[in-house]
Structure formats: structure tokens, C-alpha cells
Structure 1
């Protein structure tokens, strides 16, 4: 064999050796043919045919369905049978996952299979017997990350239940449209005002969208809905009560506006959490300048009394501040006991409910600002960060 042939043969042998190495594994002897882990049932996902709220006087049952998930999050068949249980007598559940409400309140349903379990929360109401006074609270929870909910309590701040937990995105205000039997919820994150059945809390659609972070909502003397914006152009918006957009009522940007109220002359006042001020507009929406320019650390809700004194929930200052009709500081109406106050409403006798976000409570005060009691105790019904507080009388 001549020299060129020997060289060519060595090249072929070298090539075959490299091909053999790469076909068997890496150069360190490891193999690429290691079997993948076998999928195994690691979690259960529960869904409901009728949502998570049952009505003793309406749709009072739902079928829960279970899907298995493996360690990679992929759907996997469930080999064994599913066992069901309820944590109390408010609801029963059959072997096939059919849940039936028995008493008003909350119930947690558990599904188990092969040592893996998951839970599903159910709220049971009775729409035919919803008469009396109720208190509704929007729970901002962990602010822009949730989980969000609208809670309902009785007139004593007890027996809390989840009223709404669907289609929410950092819920702000609560507004009941009694003639339409609907309730509106403003959602800062989605830019939407969503609609729900006022009795059951079931979603019924959108009232408005494309808003720059809607916060407070109130119906004015002109029977239009006024809506504040946390972001966007910062103007006050107006809508007809069917959701039709009317106009931008103001043309002055208000940074992170989150409180509005009218005085006895029909002038509109808007609080700016961003600028730590309260701005005044005339009844036509013309800017009258800053009404309060100092003394606030982070204002949220505002309201007037019959003497045109203005009261401001100072979220960052942990107090309620009173100003007179000229915008001059009067006193700290509530000087202690509150932590991140937001959300306010009034009982017919003048008693005031104020949300205390930092303590996960709703506190009650007299018309003179004197503390009465913790109306909703810390964390009751899962409350974390109260935002809006709304008292509703149902006849």
C-alpha cells in the first residue's frame, strides 16, 4: 500500500471513531439516551359547571369536574377513583362531585385521588330572603396581584361571605344600580367597569372599558355616572347609566385621583393621591384650582357634612383630616387607630364605617369621630386590604 492510501485509510478510521463516540454519548462517557421521567399525578384541578356561588332559592347545585396534572403541568388521566368531601354542613357533595347548598355561608369541597387532593370554595346564598342591611367591601388583597374579591357582611359586620370573585382586576369602588338590579365594580388593572347581578353577584358583562385605571364612581345630580382615573389623562369622565360615554367633564389632569364629592353648591372636589391635594371644579367642570394644597400625605376618599366641612381619608397619614368650607385645616377627625384608611360609608344614624387596610379591618365611628368598635374584625371572611365600603339596605 502506498503512502497516500495509508493516509486516506487513517482518515476514514478517525472519522468512524468520532462517529461512534457521538452516537454512543458525550465525550465524558454520559449517554443522551437517559429515559425521561415517567409522568405521575401530582395535582388536581377542579372546575365547576355553575360557578362557585349557589343560591338556595335559585341554581342550588353544581357539578365539579377534576382534571389531573403531572409534574410538568400537563394533563394526565386519573387512574384511581375520586373521593369527595365537604368541610361543613353548608353544602353536601356526592361521589360524582355534585354539590348542593344546604345553608347560607361558605363551604370548602375537597377532591382526592391517589394521595393527591385539591379544594374548591363554595358560597351559598338565599336570594329570596336577602332583606335587611348588608355591608359590601372590595378587597384589594395584594393590590395589583390579588387575589381579589368583593365580600359581604351582615348589619353587625358578621357572617362574611364571598359575593364576587370573578372578572376582577384590582377592584376599587362598588356602586349598586337598584332599578336595574345590577352592581358595578371599577377595576384599576383592566381599565373596565364590570357588571354583576345585585342579588347573586353573577357577572353580567361590561359597563365601560378603555378607562385609565378607574377608581371612584358616583352618580351626580345630573343623573350621570362620574368616574375617576388613576392613570390615563387624569380627567373626570361621565357616562350615562347604561354605560354610554358622555364626555370628559374636566380638562385638568389629576394624578392618581381616588376620591370625589360635591359641596352644597354643586362644586366637585377630587382628591389626588399622587399630588397629595384636593382640587375643586365648578358645576360645569371648570377648574377652580387647589382647595387643599398641604397637610395631606396620601388622600383617598373624601366627603362633606351638612356644614360643608370636608373630611379626607389620609391613607399614608393613617388618619382622617377635617377642613372647613374655605379649605382650612380644622382637626384630625380620627387621629389614631386607623392604618391606611380607604373606603367609607354611613349608617342612617350617622355612624361611619371606614376601611383600615393596614389592619384588614372595617372600623366604626360615631358622627363625632369617636371610635365605637371594630365592625369587621381583622381578616374576617378572608379580608386583607379593604378598598371600598358600601352599606346597602334591601327591602
Structure 2
């Protein structure tokens, strides 16, 4: 099965999405989400927006407030599934296609560069998501294609740790403040948790989980799981496996999660063509963003507090749309260079 958050969800929902790299082609912020695999941007420094485009095998970069590419990265990019930056500002791109020459690896780019700095291929198979362990700078890669999570020391390409116990088509990763690794397993409908700096399985969460698509941790350490199969988000207190609460109002095909600076939860609803917002600890919709939204697959907040949404469904033109803090009005729409935006990140 070829991995793609967008492709997988579209297949499940019976949608027809444009093929990528010769085949049907998910996404992953951050401790939030649009990324879980992507850390939030620093509020002190304006950063460029990076967009992975699965349809045309590129990563396009946009300066703050602009709608035309500042630069385009194509060298080494094949069916890009995930983006993340390390502490030094190096960009990591997960190239997912195992059938196309140049794919099935992670390519790394120095800040501001469009040339490959190094390539990680040892143990990599359809890399669906990233996470970086804050204390060590180690890169963790969720390999949807071989049911593993592989780890690499900062600046290295050699595999030094593999997580396999309980891993089954992993599609999202996150670390808590203790350094424990959380893995979302799509096919087994579980989230598995691993001891910090180890491959030892600590616990398995299955209650309330069905076809989990992404993960997020709030500032209190509560775990949020987007369950595509159940059209809900389940929440778990730190260290527990029982559902604390379930959010279902307004949710339809949840594909990405993130939090704003006030702790509000944002959910991208691929099938509902909306982004719904929930106040901390609440299960009722605080507000709904729909203007410009179609097939939302990725979420990320810029340093200015604006929400960016990757709209990946076709035949409508794919785009990235931007919204002011705590507002639903459309502030900016980017279409130039955008072609199946599956992951968003902010960096140098």
C-alpha cells in the first residue's frame, strides 16, 4: 500500500485525488501538527513558509506575506510526504515513493539551500512523518512502508535505533516532555508509546482509536489523536490509556491537528472541507473556518500567529490559505507553485 495521508483518506472516502509521481499519493504540525512532526515557529522571528508538493515533486518556499515562490527545491525531492527543521535550521524532506528513482529516502538541505546536503536511506521506507528528540537532536522517521520507526543521530545518516514492537503502518510521531516517543499506527488502530531513548514499548493505547491519522500533545502533556475512521479526536491524560474526552462535533475526516498560542485546538477536516476550533478542555466547536478551504491536509502557524492551511484535494486548484489569529476570514491565498500541498513548515 503506497502511503499518503491525502491519498489514504481519499481512498477511504471514495474521492478521486490527482495521482502523484506516477501513483496515488498524509501529512504530519507539530507538537502540534500540521504538524506533529514540525515544531511551532518562534514568535520572535518571521520565518519563511515551506510547502511540500506531492504532485510536482517539489518544496516551494514563500517569504512572509508573499504569494510567489522565493525559491523551489526539486533536487532529491520525490513524492514528498513530510517536512521538519532541526535546531540548526536544516530542512528534512521525506520522499515517499518506493517505485520512482530517487524516492524512499530523507533528503537534507542546509538553511536557504536548494541542493541536497546529505541523504538518509538506511532503514527508510515510505517516510510518512518525522519528529526530532529535543534533548539529543535525534531524527525519528515513521516508515509506513516497512512498519518501523528508525532513529538517526544529529547530522548522521547511519541508522542507530529501530522501533518495531507494535508498529503497524506508522503515520505520525510525537515526543512528550520526558522524551517518550508516541507512534500512531494506522492499520492496527493504536498509539504505541516508547521509553525515552529506547526501543522498549511502555504502553499501547487502543481505547477510542480507529484509523488514527495524526497526533498532538498540548502544553499539559495531554495526547490528542485524530481518528479518521471514527470522525473524532480522542484525548488522553499523560501516562494513561483511557479516553479522557472525545471531540466529535464538527469533525469529518480529521487529517491534521495543531494548537495556537492560547491552547485552542485546530482540526483539519478533509471530508468536511473545514477547519474547526475548540477551546482548551472543550468538545464543542468554538468557531469554524471554511472560506477557501477544500480538502485541508496540513496546518501550521506562522510566527505572526496566522494559521496556514494546505488544501490538497483536486480537481479544485490546490492552495495554501492563511487566516489571522482567532479569525475565520481569508487573509491570503497561495496558488503559485502549489501542487498537492501535503505538509507545511516554517524555517529560514
Q: TM-score range by the shorter chain?
A: 0.5 to 0.7
Alpha-carbon offset, residue 251 of structure 1: 4.4
1:215 alignment partner, one of 171, 193, 205: 171
Give the deviation of 1:278 after TM superposition. 0.8
2:334 aligned partner: 374
Structure whose CA Rg is larger: 1
Counterparts in 2 of 1:171 and 1:385: CA distance versus 1, 3 Å: farther
2:260 to 305, 310, 313: 305
* Between structures 1 and 2, the one with greater helix share: 1
Q: Which residue in 2 is equivalent to 1:250?
A: 205
Question: How far does residue 306 in structure 1 lie from its aligned partner after superposition?
Answer: 4.2
Q: Which runs of 5+ in 1 are unaligned?
A: 1-104, 109-120, 122-129
Check whether the contact 1:136–1:391 (CA below 8 A) recurs between aligned residues: no
- Aligned Cα root-mean-square deviation (Å): 4.1
| 1:341 and 2:296 are equivalent in the alignment | yes
Q: Which has the higher strand share?
A: 1
1:3-152 correspondence to structure 2 within 5 Å: 133=89, 136-138=92-94, 140=96, 147-148=103-104, 150=106
- After superposition, the Cα gap between the structure-2 partners of 1:131 and 1:228, relative to the gap in structure 1 and judged at 3 Å, is closer
1:183 aligned partner: 139
- Which digits, 9 at most, give the CA deviation of each residue in 1:327-377, with x for residues without a partner? 1112223x1434433343434432444443336665555434644353982
Per the normalisation by structure 1, the TM-score is 0.53
2:31 alignment counterpart: none
Name structure 2 gaps, 5 residues minimum: 1-72, 79-85
Higher relative contact order (CA 8 A, sep 6+): 2
Q: Superposition pairs for residues 286-305 of structure 1, below 5 Å?
A: 286-288=241-243, 290-305=245-260
Shift of the 107–229 alpha-carbon distance from structure 1 to 2, 3 Å rule, reads closer
Rounded to whole Å, the distance in 2 between the matches of 1:242 and 1:356 is: 36
**1:284 pairs with 239, 249, 255, which one?**
239
Which residue pairs with 1:271 in the alignment? 226
| d(CA) in 2 for partners of 1:161, 1:320 | 34
Q: Distance in 1 between matches of 2:202 and 2:336?
A: 38
Aligned residues: 260
Q: Confirm or deny: 8 A CA contact 1:150 1:162 kept in the other structure.
A: no
Deviations 1:282-339 (A, max 9, x none): 2231423552124222102212334442210112233321123321112223x14344
Does the Cα contact within 8 Å between 1:318 and 1:340 map onto a contact in 2? yes
TM-score by length of 2: 0.59
Assess, with a 3 A threshold, how the Cα gap between structure 1 residues 207 and 152 changes in structure 2: closer, same or farther: same
Secondary structure of the corresponding residue to residue 190 of structure 2: coil
Residues 362 and 375, structure 1, Cα contact 8 Å, conserved in 2:
yes
Answer yes or no: is the 8 Å Cα contact 2:133–2:175 preserved in 1. Answer: no
Is the CA contact 2:94–2:127 (under 8 Å) kept in the aligned structure 1? yes
CA contact (8 A) 1:136 1:390 kept: no
- Relative to structure 1, the CA distance from residue 345 to residue 150 in structure 2 (aligned partners, 3 Å threshold; closer, same or farther) is farther
